[in-house]
Amino acid sequence: MMAPLRIAALFFLLGFPVLELAVLIAVGKAIGFWPTFGLLVAAAVAGMLVIRAQGVSMVGRMFDTIGRGGVAFATMVDSYFVILAGFLLIVPGFITDALGIALLIPPLRRLLLGIVLPGFADARRNDPQGPRRTERPSEASRPVIIEGTYERIDENDPRH
């Protein structure tokens, strides 16, 4: 006898592509082959553009969050969900395209993040910049001061 998780995985691996294919055939019958093909190609191009833009901006937003004293985990998870949306847009099919578009809408993305990672949603709700590294807000608002000494070394100076 198969475990319930294996049955669910088998249904997902076999059932989802069949459902995706059925929707694809229904849309093809309703609007025709070339418009259906055009929509699939447009969705794939949009997915590639989303992944490209998100990959470039993710690093900048992560360093910005760290620079403000925040933890970059929330920013990274949010960015990964947008990248997942891009991959879903690339996969041919209208169900995956609908899921990808849903992940691109920030309120729906936060809702789905709340379902998948409940602790993440609570942290984002309390602080839009993500959880802070310090508990006390007075310390978080102060600038970081690093004390030290330095010595200027001239490359042309024969003593060095």
Question: What's the whole-number mean pLDDT along residues 68-75?
Answer: 74
- Closest to 77 in 3D by CA, of 89, 96, 62: 62
Q: State the virtual CA torsion across 19, 25, 27, 29 in degrees, nearest 10.
A: -150
Question: What's the whole-number mean pLDDT along residues 5-29?
Answer: 90
Q: pLDDT-derived band of residue 26, with 50, 70 and 90 as boundaries?
A: very high
Comparing 78 with 94, the larger pLDDT belongs to: 94
Comparing 83 with 71, the larger pLDDT belongs to: 83
Say how far apart CA 50 and CA 81 lie, in whole Å: 11
Q: What is the pLDDT of residue 131?
A: 43
Domain ranges of the chain: 38-132
Per-residue model confidence as pLDDT tens digits over 93-133: 999 999 999 999 999 988 888 887 777 655 555 444 444 44
pTM beyond 0.75: the answer is no
Say how far apart CA 64 and CA 78 lie, in whole Å: 14
Question: What's the whole-number mean pLDDT along residues 67-88?
Answer: 83
Q: What is the pLDDT of residue 160?
A: 61
Say how far apart CA 113 and CA 121 lie, in whole Å: 6
Tell me how far apart the terminal alpha carbons of the chain are, to the nearest angstrom. 77
Residue 150 φ/ψ, nearest 5 degrees: -145, 160
